[in-house]
Chain A
């Protein structure tokens, strides 16, 4: 990359920004008086007006603050997170594909023609996106909602919301709510601007109610040449690449992979023989969510459950740019990776591979340099068979005419060889046992440990027991390889490792170094040994030459090691790293290093038939060594230990030839003597008794890291392949690998006890032994940073300088320099480093420490006063997150994967076996393939209890025992739920249908999923309906293996004999035994009389005596109410929609409901006659006559007495009047008379009417006259009264006059 000349930044000198900056600067200087805070300028305005009001506002702000709090969770996002999954959803024809294409173009400047499956792109310095389009098939929607981080929800503004949108929102809500961003398209169809505005607003508010108020809604105004406007897409891209995501519970607790590549690994021959055979496939993709462990369970929605076969991580095909300094991405860093759509170089066809040479810079050569891993990826991608397969098929012939070795053999060799070869040094006559390691077995550890022991004892200085058998074992393995390769009959050699107790060896201590060390350090090793080691050296050298492609700068050892690592791990695709076997030398004063576990030892005990011989021989051998080395100044304890070590060795040596037994027979006795001497309490053969424990114990004191790890887990970076173990029985047709049975490693049938017995306690009376734990007690010496005295001193240092103002005495603390000096002195005493720079460093460190301490004190005083519980919790989580990140950071991926599992963000390849062939045959990249990891026992099945509510938009109610398709966890499956409601007493009563607007419970038989997981139910995943498809939603409440649902069952009976309150009831039960079961049960009659079952009767079977609160009638029906447990059909049917042929993937049909079946086949339901409705016929009621007794009648008053209106009896016949029969003449007369009378009547009638009329008229006239008469009279009266009045007036007048006259007169 060429360095670009960058323009220097020029600060603005004018404009608002510069102005603002200047003002700020002035303010900082204290010059900007006028800019002062209003609060200061006008304090009265901000004074407290009302305490109550203030309290209220305070409370409110606090409420708002706490509302914002979420429960803090540990942030488990990895440092290099996987690409963000962006799902583009929407109804058909809304512009999803166009949007995806535009986004890809926006980020990568590449135009993808056809997009199939997920597309991963680098969108920024720290962000990658995996964009995937979601079809309208509800299966796809469900699957993608579970893995989405961000949902782009496309809405056709010209049409409005469609059902798909709401369905998807609902699915999201159930499975954890990812970020959702709405995108309005087709806005150019609006011609009217006002209409457009209105629609936008309406849609926005509806969207807000669904998602959350203020959710982002994006507007794509229109298309230009079939694409969205560039600026708008750019803005959308900006939004996406700065978005933050909240972790979703399900996603963070489960690993998952959105596969972007699939390969069929089945043997073609198998397919040829049986085209329908189960397949073995590998799926590729970024691991997301949690850590994935090998051999864990996964579920592939739409296919089924599988066990992960083999997982390996690959170099990132779409890596983030490495340099972070630049502002924006280089064109070449804008990667796009979509193998399913043929981007990333290759398109797979059935029988060929096409390499795509598209892209803007496809022909540039720099690409290789920019992306160093590109080549590797390409090669990985372009290989037909995986490296595993290649490795498996490749063979190496070691000898001219030997059977070629294949990888399995090699693997077997390196992991399985439990062999121990024995060499006899001809010159010294020493027996050296070569441990040929098979990493799986701890056996070998034991052996190698033994070797260590031997070496130690051989070495003249009684230095430590170093446990570098790791290195040794490697070297040994390597040596073996060399030997075989050279084909010479050279004996295997072994180097004596020898270090100073204090020496820190570099990481890969191997033979070479040891040689150097030993030769230059002390000339104590025998010349023979030296020679041998040199030979070793040469061999290795030649070996190295052969392997020239290794890193040149690595040390020779390192090279050799890496080589051997390659050999050992060629089945891995990655080169093995060189640091995984880093060894730690340690300096231990004690001499014992009998590293052997109880199991191993015991195993050998069990197996070794000629144990005693071996013991003796070995013991004598040891003894001889002892003598040669002339170690005398050993303490008793040490000797004891050595003794036990020897015993260990005796035990562990198994396959030794007994060639030198005879030579050493003499020394046997001596050996035993020493043993006796050392073991104070033991009898003659007591030392043999608990050899295993002793050995284990001694070993355990001395275990070292890689050793211990190997002891526990077998090989370090090797996954336990039991298959390979079984296969590798013969090596190259030459060596027969004799391996003890795996089970016999530990005593299979030993006592199961967790106690860690101490068989050889140290002698705690001795002062040295006692002092070894002296500091474990509070009475012992304390560490510097915790010692009270020391702390006091330091405090003095910090606060020492002060002047007592009252007395004027100046107290001087110890100066810092002094402290430093003393520190350095101490250092020197410790005798570690005396170099000046080290001193400097130490000083610096001390200063830093002091500073930190001061800062902590300050913080404690001022900051942590108002730390709330919430803050503490957050802090704790933060610390944990940091620890999680830091713990395995320094380890390489290969090792790390073993501890943590595959961490999210890795690009992994997962092999799965036994996949139905339809998955491969009907593979359609448009449908997402998700590998969802399952937790512990989530692969099991049981009864799951749910809280369920029918969706309010779903039109029908759901029926118990109708199959329903649930989406729960990763899975989609059909099952038969039973609905129930919980009674007040906790009883789960079966319901026939879901309630309309209420939650109810449901139980089904299916996969166990953690409580609190949301689910949704649909009745069918096939076809399209205009209606809302989601039938119900809810949450898992409980998991169980038994059912708690009951339904009501009433047993009825009839009384057959009734006493006062006691009755005998029959017909309820069939036998005495049944009755006995129900004794004491409450019964009731239909009329409401309560009672109790007492005891069975003998006579009619099943009859019983019962008591009631009242006397029954014979017509009463008695019943007892019981609860009958309902059985739930064990029906669990995963929706295998991905197995359907292409084009029919959305047409999966499961079990049909009885209603559907009936309708299809035209089966009429046979109805119970009793439950049919009939016309109501009401009989006329008939009442009897009231009967009053005679006595009462007599007593009654007459008024109330029934009147004896007896019917007249029949008139006797003789009293009947004779019928009159008229003569014809008489008849005529009567007829005439009647006619005349009729006429007469008529006349009378007429006359009457006429008379009435006349009368009326007369009355009228009369009335008139009357009125007139009255009128006249009135007038007359008026006249008279007036006259009378006038006269009166006159009289008065006159009288008045008269009086006045009279006065005048007077």
Chain B
């Protein structure tokens, strides 16, 4: 067949996830060279290998070739299969690392995805499961990916370095997505959050809540932060605590911020009060950035816009994160989709920083895996 879609080639291990995800969705093969080629221990790391294994699990007929040193990866995507799965994530990255990509892929499976992920639920690097649960799921609902089976459930909490957490992620299957016009974030009506603590004193959570409230109360009275202290087998293998805050507007925009304590044996101990305050400030920073989608989910929103019908979708974002910028470039090379990017400075003074209005026409993507009867 002369017309096989040509292979895309990249270098370096950065943005590995989005490359693999986009390759899977667009059906274009991918080659990544020079993965940590010049470092002391070249090649793919364990968490990347675990991610590739996960991709292999959810797809059918994909071909993955890795050279001996692990510095070159060739990926020919298959069709997304889904079903009931289990995966042990590497504890060097949190489950959020894996879950973010699964969120992109899950609506386009053959069978509804129901996956149990084990590993670190909250860490300092990746968006935690709590935040994704609070922000990404409402975002998916906006695109018509809805149903009672759409859920993220935290069965066990696991903190780094040892992990031991377990979550369940289930997502229904959609054939097509609906376009969105999401340009008015609205005003923040309430702030919710979760203060969690495992294998430390349950009082930690309360202390975090107190301090976070002290800052946020200056803006809004409607604040409720749940304390979640897990015990026994549900508390994972390492101690730790943290806070994630979610601000919800009257239009359903959800902005989030989170902080976690330093992993056991790494860095200085963090006072829960300090953490709570810092987290609240981060939330204010996020509010300052604003937009209709919070900064961690920008790329997810843009992806779902791209995969919509051939209609115009619009979304107002805060400043684009470097990850999103690279994601936009990748969207262009995989889907030939270019976004119209307009700066919007808020017309009023007290509404935070500059916003970016992203507009695109969807590619008319349809779920090729889904069976019709």
Contact status A749-B39, CB under 8 Å: yes
Residues facing B in A1180-1220 (CB within 8 A) are: none
**Residue pair A305, B2 in contact (C-beta under 8 Å):** yes
B345 within 8 A of partner (CB):
yes
Most central of A298, A1010, A1012, A1041 by chain B CB within 10 Å: A1041
Assess whether B296 is in contact with A754, with CB atoms less than 8 Å apart. yes
Chain B residues near A711 (CB, 8 Å)?
325
Minimum Cβ distance to chain A for residue B134 (Å): 15
**Contact, CB under 8 Å: A291 / B13:** no
Are A700 and B320 closer than 8 Å at their CB atoms? yes
Chain B binder among A121-129, A755-763, A820-828? A755-763
Is B16 an interface position by the 8 A CB rule? yes
Of A306, A586, A754, most buried by chain B (CB within 10 Å of CB) is A754
A584: interface (CB < 8 Å): yes
Interface positions of B from 149 to 191, Cβ below 8 Å from A? 179, 181, 185, 187-189
* Complex CA–CA separation, A808 to B283 (angstroms): 57
Bound-state Cα–Cα, A784 to B151, Å: 39
A754 touches B323 (CB 8 A): yes
Given A773-B287, A776-B188, residue A756 in contact with residue B321 (CB < 8 A): yes
Cβ of B322 and Cβ of A598 under 8 Å apart? yes
Q: Are B125 and A753 in contact (CB under 8 A)?
A: yes
Q: How far is the CB of A170 from chain B (nearest CB, A)?
A: 22
Q: How far is the CB of B184 from chain A (nearest CB, A)?
A: 10
- List chain B residues, Cβ under 8 A from A312: none
Instruction: Decide if B350 touches A773 in the complex (CB within 8 Å).
Output: yes
Q: Are A712 and B187 in contact (CB under 8 A)?
A: no
Is A1038 engaged at the interface, CB distance under 8 Å to the other chain? Answer: yes
The residues in A between 875 and 927 inclusive whose CB is less than 8 angstroms from any CB of B are 880, 883-884, 887-888, 898-901, 914
A74 to B314, CA, bound (A): 17
Beta-carbon contact of B325 and A597 below 8 Å: yes
Cross-interface CB contact of B285 among A290, A708, A758, A780, cutoff 8 Å: A758
Interface: B243 (CB within 8 A): no
Q: Which residues from A are CB-within-8-Å of B366?
A: 253, 935, 1010
Asked if A703 is at the interface (CB within 8 A of a chain B CB), the reply is yes
**Interface readout for B338-357 with A: 1 if CB under 8 Å, 0 if not?**
11111101001111111010
Q: Are B14 and A752 in contact (CB under 8 A)?
A: yes
Instruction: Establish whether residues A702 and B125, one from each chain, have CB atoms under 8 Å apart when the complex forms.
Output: no
Check if B126 is an interface residue, CB within 8 A of chain A: yes
List the A side residues contacting B365 at CB < 8 Å.
935-936
- Shortest CB-to-CB span from B52 to chain A, Å, is 13
A704 contact set on B, CB distance < 8 A? 343
Residues of B within 8 A of A (CB-CB), count:
106
Residue-wise, chain B 294-327 has the 8 Å CB interface mask toward A (1 for contact) of: 0110110000000001111010000111111110
Partner of B354 from the list A74, A253, A703, A771 (CB cut-off 8 Å) is A703
Which of A295, A753, A774, A884 has the most chain B CB atoms inside 10 A of its CB?
Answer: A753
Q: Which residues of A contact B332 (CB under 8 A)?
A: 713
- CB within 8 A of B309: which of A74, A743, A1007? A74
Asked whether A748 lies within 8 Å of B311 as measured between CB atoms, the reply is no
Stretch in A351-359, A937-945, A1104-1112, A1297-1305 touching the partner: A937-945
Residues of A near B11 (CB, < 8 A) are: 743, 748
Asked whether A1078 is an interface residue with its Cβ less than 8 Å from the other chain, the reply is no
Contact A1011/B372 with A588-B345, A764-B215 known, Cβ cut-off 8 Å = yes
Instruction: Name A74's closest neighbour in chain B (CB-CB).
Output: B311
Residue of B nearest to A916 (CB): B2
Question: Once the chains bind, are B309 and A296 in contact (CB under 8 Å)?
Answer: no
* Cβ-defined contact, B220 with A712, below 8 A: no
**Contact, CB under 8 Å: B296 / A1010:** no
Interface pair B329/A764, CB less than 8 Å apart: no
The reply on B369 being an interface residue by CB < 8 A is yes
- B321 to chain A: closest CB distance in Å? 3
Q: Inside 8 A of B353's CB, which chain A residues have their CB?
A: 701, 772
Bound-complex Cα distance A1260 to B186 (A) = 136
Q: Does B12 contact A (CB under 8 A)?
A: yes
Question: B288 on the interface (CB 8 Å rule)?
Answer: yes
Q: Is there contact, CB below 8 Å, between A755 and B368?
A: no
Residue of B78, B289, B342 touching A705 (CB-CB under 8 A): B342
Residues of B within 8 A of A296 (CB): 336
Task: Contact check, A753 vs B61: say whether CB atoms are below 8 A apart.
Answer: no
User: A74-B311, A756-B295, A940-B5 are known contacts. Are A1038 and B371 too (CB-CB below 8 A)?
Assistant: yes
B26 interface hit (Cβ, 8 Å):
yes
Chain B positions within 8 Å of A901 at CB level: 336, 361
Contact A294/B3 with A586-B345, A762-B288 known, Cβ cut-off 8 Å: no
Number of inter-chain CB pairs below 8 Å: 283
- B218 and A76 contacting across the interface, CB-CB below 8 Å: no
Question: With the chains together, A884 CA to B359 CA distance in Å?
Answer: 11
A1127 within 8 A of B: no
What's the Cα separation between A416 and B26 when bound, in Å?
29
A-contact bits for B9-47, CB 8 A (1 contact / 0 none): 011111111000000011110000011100100000000
Mark each residue of chain B from 79 to 111: 1 if its CB lies under 8 Å from any CB of chain A, else 0: 100000000000000000100100000000010
Is B55 on the interface with A (CB-CB < 8 A)? no
Residues of A within 8 A of B287 (CB): 773, 776
In A273-308, the 8 Å CB interface with B consists of 290-291, 293-299, 304-307
Interface centre among B181, B312, B349 (most CB of A within 10 A): B312
Whether, in the assembled complex, A1037 has its beta carbon less than 8 Å from a beta carbon of chain B, the answer is yes
Partner of A776 from B14, B187, B324, B339 at Cβ < 8 Å:
B187
Contact B354 A778 (CB under 8 A): no
In contact, A752 and B27 (Cβ under 8 angstroms)? no
Docked-complex contact B328 and A712, CB < 8 angstroms: yes
**B144 interface residue (CB < 8 Å to A):** no
Chain B, 193-241, CB within 8 A of any chain A CB: 215, 218-221
Answer whether residue A1132 sits at the interface, using C-beta atoms and an 8 A cutoff. yes
Cβ B25 vs Cβ A777 within 8 A = no
* Nearest A residue (CB) for B346: A775
Q: Mark B111-145, 1 if CB is under 8 A from A, else 0.
A: 00000000000000111000000000000000000
Beta-carbon nearest neighbor of A442 in chain B:
B325
Complex formed: what's the CA distance from A305 to B339 in Å? 28
> Which residues of B are found within 8 Å of A304, using beta-carbon distances?
1-3
Known contacts A754-B127, A1040-B79; A942 and B312 CB within 8 A of each other: no
Q: Is the CB of B78 within 8 A of A1041?
A: yes
B66 at the interface (CB under 8 A from A): no
Cβ A936 vs Cβ B25 within 8 A: yes
B292: CB under 8 A from chain A?
A: no
Q: Does B270 sit within 8 A of A, measured CB to CB?
A: no
**Min CB distance, A65 to chain B, in Å?**
26
* Nearest Cβ on chain B to A321's Cβ, whole angstroms: 29
Chain B residues whose CB sits within 8 angstroms of the CB of A749 once the complex forms: 12-14, 34-36, 39
**Structural contact, B363 and A754, CB atoms closer than 8 A:** no
User: Is the beta-carbon distance between B12 and A743 smaller than 8 angstroms?
Assistant: yes
Pairwise interchain contact B325-A1038, C-beta atoms closer than 8 A: no
Which residues of the partner chain A approach B284 to less than 8 Å between Cβ atoms? 764, 770, 773
Q: Kindly state the separation between the CA atoms of A298 and B3 in the bound complex, as whole angstroms.
A: 8
Question: Do B127 and A755 touch across chains, with their CB atoms under 8 A apart?
Answer: yes
Set A597, A598, A1037, A1039: member contacting B368, Cβ < 8 A: A1039
Check A937–B250 contact: CB distance below 8 A: no
Which of B126, B289, B345 contacts A753 (CB under 8 A)? B126
A782 within 8 A of B: yes
Give chain A nearest CB distance to B9 CB in angstroms: 10
The answer, among A253, A701, A936, A1039, for a CB contact under 8 Å with B79, is A1039
* A-B residue pairs in contact (CB < 8 Å), sample of 23: A74-B309, A304-B3, A305-B1, A305-B2, A305-B4, A306-B3, A748-B11, A750-B14, A752-B13, A755-B127, A762-B288, A770-B218, A770-B219, A775-B187, A775-B350, A777-B219, A778-B189, A778-B250, A899-B361, A936-B365, A942-B79, A1008-B27, A1037-B373
Enumerate the 8 nearest inter-chain pairs by beta-carbon distance, A residue then B residue, closest first.
Answer: A305-B3, A748-B12, A1041-B61, A937-B27, A756-B321, A293-B336, A756-B295, A700-B319
Given contacts A74-B311, A751-B14, 11 further A-B contacts (CB under 8 A): A297-B5, A703-B343, A748-B11, A750-B14, A756-B321, A756-B323, A770-B219, A774-B350, A778-B189, A779-B219, A1132-B1
